[in-house]
Amino acid sequence: MESTMRGRAREAILSAAIAEFNAHGIRAVSADRVIADAGVSKVTFYRHFPTKDELVVAYLEAELERVQRAVADAGPGHSPGQWSTALAEEICRPGFRGCPFINAAAEYPDPDHAVREVVDRFRSWMIGAITAALVAQSIAEPEHVACQIMMLRDGALVEGYVSGNPQRVARELAAGVDALVAATL
């Protein structure tokens, strides 16, 4: 029973952190704000996350799991068009404030920091998943094209947030991915 209560407290802290970090950014959100939103004591918070950086790592790991679930739910053998649709949906989701991984990389410039390790893991996984989809579609130079799609994705996520017009950016991203893929057939 105690472990269930501890698990609920950890999940409450992580849920509060996800909402706050996504809405306001990592550095702008204090541990006290997360503690208040989660409805836990400081002792409970620090028992689960001895440092804010450990909470940020857990947040990014949760975001990575969310993206991996979304890709798995899309089913095997996604076409490049399905990728651009999924990326467009990401840009247009409620409360969108840019890519959590790009945002974290900007806020944690040290390439050896634990936060950046999760960012790197996400990027490697994403490029690998895009490459696998391109291989299934018999695209020439799939690794090269996957890196190009990743750059289009990165730029679109930033532009979607900065411009305040995610629908336009989503359409342009889909068109860009389609054009890139068509050029490699």
Is the pLDDT score of 144 beyond 60?
A: yes
Which domains, ranges and CATH numbers included, belong to the chain? 1-50 (1.10.10), 52-184 (1.10.357.10)
If you count them, how many residues does the chain have?
A: 185
Q: Which of 152, 147, 145, 148 is nearest to 170 (CA)?
A: 152
Q: Nearest-CA neighbor of 53 among 8, 22, 17?
A: 17
Picking from 181, 175, 88, 86, the residue whose alpha carbon sits closest to that of residue 142 is 181
Identify the residue with better confidence: 98 or 81: 98
Give me the pLDDT at residue 125, please.
Answer: 95
Mean pLDDT of 19-35: 95
Angstrom distance (rounded) from CA 129 to CA 169: 22
- The burial class, CB within 10 Å (0-12 / 13-18 / 19+), for 39 is exposed
- Interatomic CA distance for residues 143 and 130, integer angstroms: 8
pLDDT per position as a tens digit, 95-117: 778 889 999 999 999 999 999 99
pLDDT for position 127: 94
Report the percentage of the chain scoring pLDDT > 70.
87
